[in-house]
Amino acid sequence: MKKLLMIYWLLIGSAGWALAQSHVVKGKVTDASTGDPLVMVNVQLKGTTTGTRTDASGNFSLSVPSDKGELVFTYLGYQAVIQSINDNLVVKMEKDNKQLDEVVVIGYGEVKKRDLTGAVVSVKGEELKKVPSTNVMESVQGKLPGVDITKSSGAAGAKINVTVRGNRSIRADNGPLYIVDGVQYENIQDISPNDIQSMEVLKDASSTAIYGSRGANGVIIITTKKGVAGKPRVSVNSYVGISQVAGYPAMDTGPQYVALKREANRTTGRWKTEADDPLIFNASEVAAIKNNLWTNYADLLIHDGLQQDYQVGVAGGSEKTKVYLSLDYFDEKGLFKLDQLKRYSGRLNIDQVVNSVLKVGMQSQITYYDQNTRPDPLNQANKIVPLNLPYDSAGKLIMFPNSGSMINPLADEQPNAYQNNTHVTRTFLNAYIELTPLKGLSFRSNFGVTLDNSRTGIFASKNSIGRSTASTSRSQYNTGSKRYISWENVLSYQKSIGNHSFGATAVASLLSDKRDSSFLQGEGQLLPSQLYYALANNVSGIAVRTSYLESKLISFTGRLNYNYKGKYLLSLTGRSDGSSKLAPGNKWAFFPSVAGAWRIGDEEFMHKQHFFSDLKLRASYGIAGNDAISPYSTASYLSKIPFSYDDINSALAYGIGTQIGNKNLKWELSATTDVGIDFSILNQRIGVTADYYDTHTKDLLLQRTLPTSSGVGTVIQNIGKTRNRGIEIGLNTTNVNSHGFTWTSNIVFSKNKEEIVALADANTNDVANGWFIGSPVKVFYDYQKVGIWQTKEADLATKYGYKPGDIKVKDQGTADGVLNSQDRVILGTQVPTWSGGLNNDFRYHNFDLNIYVFARIGQWINSEYAAKYDPQGLENSAPVNYWTPERETNDYPRPNASVSKDGTPFIKTLGYKDGSFVKIRNISLGYTLPSSILKRSHLSNLRVYVTGKNLFTFSKVKDYDPERGGDLSSPLTKMYVAGLNVEF
């Protein structure tokens, strides 16, 4: 008992000693500018997990082991504060304006984000690397409000389609202007995402006006990385990924095809029982049916692809000399054999300070492509009769299986059967000289050159898919050369007088674009191994063509920025462009713009409220031009035509080409109004950018079809009008930021209404070209399928001239029993009603997780698979639910061996489908090594990650990614990636 009492008193004494050693710290946390208390501020003893939060009055109380040490105060939207432990602490926290003070690149200059007056979206380089891709634009799909981005196909190095705020032009180019380090650059796929410091997208007329005609469809500015002073920094970035087809629908199996062909011939009375099979199938096919032999050729053609990228970057230098060097190797093997892209690139950026007033430098890159492509073999695979085997018993390819007329879809993969190889060497160089003779005054002269040389060689043997109906091989040798020169001189002046700040920019530029190409062809190559070389050895079909294009653009630009007290912002821009593509007297045009912004959040009356952390209103109006047509459209040209005096003697003769020149051709003009608001609330926990825009385009550069009596086919004229209006919303949120765990989200929503306002004949639709007033440029115009005529509707079907089993379409008129072209309607549009993205970033200590969802809603596609139905049974079809007397359906018409596919009434209506989709675009999980381990390894950063790209797509279209647009060729892919980022 005594021992127990002794232990008890020892414990009491120890507790008392511990309490005596503890220390209670009390204090208050307030806003440094307003003095208002801050609620729920994190207060933590540095180096420990001991902490608390402030109450509703900003007060806190924290028990700490001793009166020594430091407290760390953190609060979203405020700069962190470290304070030594003291009694009755009063902590004043400053707002963190880091985001507002971020520098954003605009045309011919930079401004702080807080001073922007136009609609500009900025993306940092780290965001661009989250989605491994061939083309950096694919990495930002769904992340930029108002920018519609889709991938054209799943082939290696496939093109990325980019449209900013809808299609303004009907026939002229609608793609944005790409500016890389201040110079126009068409081939954005050359730029490695690892070399990019930032990307800015200029959308409204005020932002793009300084680029004049070149910025009519939006401007995307790429700034590459520069050197840094001090110890050289080396980064190594690499990834390897396996790509697989992202869903591919199957064609009929052998038994399904047999059932279809039997039914087609049962309709005509030629087939009644299996005993009649020899009447509709050849002997080889009958044998294949008996032995259940058939082939799914798509399975033999589609393989797993491989994508890999290896990049090394070195940044270093001194205070006067800064250098950035990068080398990159990219290799992509597509889903098919003979589909591969290799890209080798090197970048060198140098900036040299000569003295206090002179700075020079250059940005340069050389890129080399070695690419093999092929005609998509799936078209052949999807239509060939499946009742056969691709190889004989000896393993040799059967060129025409089952003695059929269709060549084996695997034919191009055989040795010396087919090759399409392209070599491209592109050199980009931009040198500059910059003078700053006076404070605030600078002059910069940029001289940029892009040299592009390409060679494409194509050889197709007589046993290739493309030449299967010919008797000889064909060889082609095509070359192309482009030379783009840009010389721009920029004078800038900045001055502040009291509360007034002024910025003036003047630009004079000359752009020259020269292109030439050659085309050589021959048939009957002596030796297949000579491919497309030694064309003189070809025995027939010798053809030679060359071409040349040249255009120039001269521009003079002025911009004035005014800022009063940092709260009232005004920007005025005017640009005059002269284009050689347009007619004399119409070559020059002036493009003005004005923009203003009011930073309401900086007003004194806003200081007492706590809801808005920042608030700004913006408005702009401007006019932009477009001359994106081929040079020489103002001139008529001659073409050689066959002519002879008699049956023996020939002579040279020329006639007017198919397109006549237009001596009155002028600028296409777009006027845009933009109203926007930028704000953040709840101590910057939620940030919102929203814009409403309305663009009216007139004098469209439109190719017009002329009557045959004119003797020519078409002419380009300034006719028609379009309108694009819509809203864009970008939302950034910090959902959780506590105890080492953060969760941030980025939500993007874009809704654009695109419509044709007028065409050549004012209010008359152009049905032949599919252009309709009040509708978008790209629509599906056809009869509206409502089902299949059923047996019980035989009398009504007869009234319209059809019978049960035929496609039934809607009578859009008066139901008078007549169906004609007047009953066609607009079924859907290829552009989405709205699109958006949801990007979530989670971070817990050294782990990071990114989940990105992308949606494109309201678009329609013309599904090649849905229309893959041959009612005759001559070719293979998709496994569809077709109508029979015993199994009536509203899906597909009755098979009929006596009616061809093209002759089947309303057959084209089968393909129109709602192509809306939601896809999980990216899931990435990464781990960064702790700093303690990195120090021992002499590394500054090491991150490993795995990524799933384009993993899941949700749509009404089964086993197909609707982003492809409906085509079955070159299907889109999903990819599984493992990557590594190292810095030292």
**Could you report the per-residue pLDDT of 198-253, keeping only the tens digit for each?**
888 888 888 888 887 777 788 899 999 999 888 899 999 999 999 999 989 999 99
Residues 661 and 635: beta-carbon distance below 8 Å: yes
Q: Which two tokens stand for residue 340?
A: 């591969």
Cα separation of 897 and 875, whole Å?
11
Cα separation of 505 and 556, whole Å?
11
Q: Transcribe 194-259 into DSSP letters.
A: GGEEEEEEE-SHHHHGGGGGGGTT-EEEEEE----SEEEEEEEEEEEEEEEES-------HHHHHH
Cα separation of 882 and 860, whole Å?
23
Q: What share of the chain is helix, strand, coil (3-state, %, to 5)?
A: 15, 50, 35
Query: What pLDDT, on the 0 to 100 scale, is given for residue 99?
Result: 62
Residues 749 and 837: beta-carbon distance below 8 Å: no
Of 922, 815, 723, the closest CA to residue 167 belongs to 723
Q: Which two tokens stand for residue 376?
A: 């998509």
Query: Cα 59 to the chain's mean position, in Å?
Result: 51
Helical residues (DSSP H) of 665-707, grouped into ranges: none
CA atoms within 13 A on the CB side of 599: 20
Of 220, 387, 528, the closest CA to residue 875 belongs to 387
Cα separation of 555 and 209, whole Å?
12
Of 697, 757, 688, the closest CA to residue 727 belongs to 688
Distances (CA, A) of 24 to 21, 40, 188, 889: 10, 19, 60, 81
CA angle (676, 678, 679) in 5-degree steps: 145
Distances (CA, A) of 197 to 138, 631, 666, 870, 940: 17, 35, 38, 53, 19
Distances (CA, A) of 728 to 692, 751, 921: 7, 7, 21
Residues 879 and 258: beta-carbon distance below 8 Å: no
Residues 752 and 776: beta-carbon distance below 8 Å: no
Residues 595 and 570: beta-carbon distance below 8 Å: yes
Burial 717-754 (b: 16+ CB within 10 A, else e): bbbbbbbbbbbbbbbbbbeebeeeeebbbbbbbbbbeb
Written as one letter, the residue type at 953 is: T
Written as one letter, the residue type at 971 is: P
Distances (CA, A) of 829 to 199, 424, 540, 765: 30, 36, 46, 16
Going by their DSSP bridges, the two strands 183-184 and 196-202 should be labelled as unpaired
Place of tokens 């709602």: 914
Helix axes 283-290, 254-268, angle to 10 degrees: 120
**Which residues contact residue 148 at a Cβ distance below 8 angstroms, ignoring those fewer than 6 apart?**
161, 162, 163, 164, 166, 750, 752, 831, 832, 835
Cα separation of 195 and 913, whole Å?
41
Distances (CA, A) of 443 to 180, 438, 621, 769, 958: 20, 10, 28, 50, 59
Using 50 as the pLDDT threshold, list the residues of the chain that sit under it: 1-20
Query: What pLDDT, on the 0 to 100 scale, is given for residue 652?
Result: 77
Helix (H, G, I), strand (E, B) or coil at 753: strand
Helix (H, G, I), strand (E, B) or coil at 292: coil
Helix (H, G, I), strand (E, B) or coil at 831: coil
List phi, psi (to 5°) of 513. -130, 115
Place of tokens 């309201």: 858
Instruction: Report the Cα–Cα distance between both ends of the chain, in Å, rounded.
Output: 66
Residues 463 and 418: beta-carbon distance below 8 Å: no
Cα separation of 699 and 708, whole Å?
25
Query: Cα 540 to the chain's mean position, in Å?
Result: 43
Residues 789 and 805: beta-carbon distance below 8 Å: yes
**Which residues contact residue 472 at a Cβ distance below 8 angstroms, ignoring those fewer than 6 apart?**
462, 523, 524, 539, 540, 541
Cα separation of 364 and 359, whole Å?
17
pTM of the model: 0.86
Radius of gyration, alpha carbons of the chain: 34
Cα separation of 947 and 924, whole Å?
4
Helix (H, G, I), strand (E, B) or coil at 289: helix
List phi, psi (to 5°) of 693. -135, 155
Helix (H, G, I), strand (E, B) or coil at 935: helix
Cα separation of 491 and 716, whole Å?
38
CA atoms within 13 A on the CB side of 288: 22
Written as one letter, the residue type at 15 is: A
Q: Which two tokens stand for residue 639?
A: 């073409």
DSSP-assigned beta bridge partners for residue 677: 617, 690
Residues 831 and 149: beta-carbon distance below 8 Å: no
Beta strands in 565-598 (DSSP E): 568-579, 588-598
Distances (CA, A) of 618 to 22, 674, 690: 55, 8, 10
Residues 254 and 368: beta-carbon distance below 8 Å: no
Q: Which two tokens stand for residue 930?
A: 């702790």
Of 303, 300, 298, 278, the closest CA to residue 288 belongs to 278
Helical residues (DSSP H) of 376-496, grouped into ranges: 378-383
Residues 181 and 526: beta-carbon distance below 8 Å: no
